[in-house]
Amino acid sequence: VTAAEILATGVDWSFAPTLAVARNVNWGRSYESYSQDPDIVKSYAGAFVRGLQGDLGDQSVMACAKHWVGEGGTRHGIDQGETSLPADELERVHMTPYCAAIEAGVLTIMVSYSSWNGAKCHGNQFLVTDVLKNKMRFDGFIVSDWDGIHSLSEDLYKAVGIGVNAGIDMFMEPDNWRDLIEYLKAHIEFGTVKRSRIDDAVRRILSVKFAYGLFDKARPAARPSANHESFGGLEHRELAREAVRKSLVLLKNDGGILPLDRSSRILVAGKNADNRGHQCGGFTLDWQGTSGNAPVRGGTSIWEGIHAVAPNAVFSGTAGKDADPVQHDVAIVVIGELPYAEGPGDIRSGNDVIVEAGSQISGLLTVLEPYSHTLELAKSHPEDLQTIRNITSCGIPVIAILISGRPLVVNQELAEVAGFIAAWLPGSEGQGVADVLFGDYDFTGKLAFSWPADSEANCQVDDPGYAPLFSCGYGLKY
């Protein structure tokens, strides 16, 4: 289905799957990771590649496993930061998913912005050539990330030489591509880049294009898949709705408040209750995501999904100030994060962690303003807790639904409510949440990440003394 949706837009190469094993939820790209557990990520890696590429026929899309390697293990969860691990630990945790992707025949792999033991991955010949190409026998081509070689040196001529010799075959160079070409020619002329290195890159790129049949296919707009009627259609939306149902994790259900009765007088509130843009998160329609229902055409917000099956439900807006125990039996408050992507999604307690990371890296570290300075939702979004308290102070029991790209410290919110659901970033099909709220389906989701107990506590999974509130694998049922 994902391949069909991609092909309908005219795209035939997808920068997915992301095989990061996120070990610190302060990282702004945590939601791109399947899990903190390498075995879970591995299980998705092969399945995703097979589903996307298939038999490399007309219904296939080229996959790109990313980002090689260790980006999910950076200290303090700093995007593009430093992963300090012994080689055997890097292999056990962060390379494991790539083995499954390569076995499944992934055609391309993208290099990470991050560093391993001080060396930027874009310039690391050991990781890119010795390990990935030679030891793991990956025979597709390796692509840089967007402007990735610029992290190697402020001197683009020098950066080009380092990146090419490291083993990168194709470069995403949006602005300085003419300079890159001239600098590469100069490196070849001066002998600082061997022609055999260029031959290897050309062979790999052409081999992938031939394997995919790119030279025999019509232009994307003329292919049978272009603008296909199935794009955004009911069958695809039903599958997305099923994914929502199966990904929800029930963290609290005091007194069996869930499932709800459709005839109950339900008050729905919260900033994320009627916002498809917030449900989708970052990298949707825009780099940093979007807000509101209008930009995300089709689908349903969580409020729309509830209202469709519960005729007595009413929407109170964001603050829940209409709460009345005479008129309402129960309330649903949809809380959580706002959309973000990449570095702007980082949680950083202070600039000291950036100074620490920068001092360990041989290269450049791009620093963007972080989403917040704390994982504690009550501090980053105090309006959510206030909405809950506006309602519980009236004696109405509350079920909280958390929209977020990662686990957050929600101790205060948990203490206030009778039920708590981690809905992650459910996407456009909010109706899937209602399917489970009213008992048409039971909860089946389990945490793929452990849940932090305290914003001041250590969130680095690998560190001694790490003690989460909920362990990876936790999840209640009715």
Distances (CA, A) of 297 to 233, 293, 326: 12, 7, 36
317 pLDDT above the threshold of 90:
no
pLDDT above 80 for 456:
no
Active site annotation includes 145: yes
Asked if the domains 2-219 and 237-338+381-437 are classified in one and the same CATH topology, the answer is no
User: Which two three-digit tokens encode residue 439?
Assistant: 């008992």
**What is the model's pLDDT at position 2?**
96
What is the number of other CB atoms lying within 10 angstroms of the CB of residue 350? 9
- Return the minimum-mean-pLDDT range out of 34-43, 144-153, 221-230, 300-309: 221-230
Confidence of residue 208 (pLDDT cuts 50, 70, 90): very high
342 is catalytic: yes
Predicted pLDDT at 159: 98
360 or 140, which is more confident? 140
pLDDT band at 42 (very low <50, low <70, confident <90, very high): very high
Give the integer Cα–Cα distance in Å for 287 and 343.
Answer: 11
The answer for 162, left when phi > 0, alpha when psi is -120 to 50, beta otherwise, is alpha
Catalytic residue among 71, 342, 384, 435: 342
Query: Mean pLDDT throughout 460-472?
Result: 88
- Phi, psi (5° rounding) for residue 314? -130, 150
pLDDT at 356: 77
- Is the Cα torsion angle 422, 287, 100, 152 positive or negative in sign? negative
Token pair of 436 as six digits? 């489970």
Site of tokens 């990440």: 449
CA distances from 467 to 450, 452, 470 (A): 9, 8, 9
H or E element at residue 109: strand 108-111
Q: Is the pLDDT of residue 457 over 80?
A: no
Structurally, what CATH architecture does the domain formed by 237-338+381-437 represent? 3-Layer(aba) Sandwich (3.40)
Percentage of residues of the chain with pLDDT beyond 70: 100
CA separation, residue 470 to residues 95, 247, 249, 288, 416 (Å): 26, 16, 11, 29, 18
Q: Do you know the residue count of the chain? A: 478
Q: Looking at residue 173, what is its pLDDT?
A: 97
Pairing of strands 141-143, 249-253: unpaired
pLDDT on residue 364:
84
- CA separation for the pair 81, 366 (Å, rounded): 9
How much is the average pLDDT of 202-220?
Answer: 96
Query: What is the structure's pLDDT at 362?
Result: 82
Which residue out of 32, 37, 91, 145 is catalytically annotated?
Answer: 145
Residue 311 has pLDDT above 80, yes or no: yes
CATH superfamily of 2-219: Glycoside hydrolase, family 3, N-terminal domain (3.20.20.300)
203, pLDDT greater than 80: yes
70-104 pLDDT, tens digit per residue, is 999 999 999 999 999 999 999 999 999 999 999 99
Residues 394, 324 contacting (CB under 8 angstroms): yes
Is residue 357 predicted with pLDDT exceeding 80? no
Amino acid at 209: K
Give per-residue pLDDT as tens, 234-258. Answer: 999 999 999 999 999 999 999 999 9
In the predicted model, is pLDDT for residue 407 greater than 90?
A: yes
pLDDT at 354 over 80: no
Rounded CA gap, 389 and 469, in Å? 23
pLDDT exceeds 80 at position 475: yes
Half-sphere exposure of 72 (CA within 13 A, CB side): 31
Q: Please name which of 403, 400, 434, 395 lies closest in space to residue 418, comparing C-alpha atoms.
A: 400
The per-residue pLDDT of the chain, averaged, comes to 96
- Residues 365 and 371: their CA atoms lie apart, in Å, by 18
Query: Element (H or E) spanning 401, and its range?
Result: strand 398-403
What proportion of the chain, given as a percentage, has pLDDT over 90? 89
Pairing outcome for strands 266-269 and 249-253: unpaired
Residue 458: pLDDT over 80: no
Instruction: Report H helices in 92-166.
Output: 96-103, 125, 156-166
Question: Which of 55-64, 260-269, 401-410, 461-470 is predicted with the least confidence, judged by mean pLDDT?
Answer: 461-470
Q: Quick one: pLDDT band at residue 266, thresholds 50, 70, 90?
A: very high
Sheet arrangement for strand 115-116: 82-83, 115-116, 119-120
Q: Is the pLDDT of residue 338 over 90?
A: yes
| pLDDT exceeds cutoff 90 at 463 | no
DSSP class of residue 424 equals E
pLDDT at 101: 99
pLDDT for 117-136, tens place per residue? 999 999 999 999 999 999 99
Residue 115: pLDDT band (50, 70, 90) is very high
Q: What is the pLDDT of residues 377-393, one digit of tens each?
A: 999 999 999 999 999 99
Distance CA 121, CA 89 (A): 16
pLDDT at 461 (0 to 100): 87
Domain boundaries in the chain?
A: 2-219, 237-338+381-437
**Residue 450 pLDDT exceeds 80:** yes
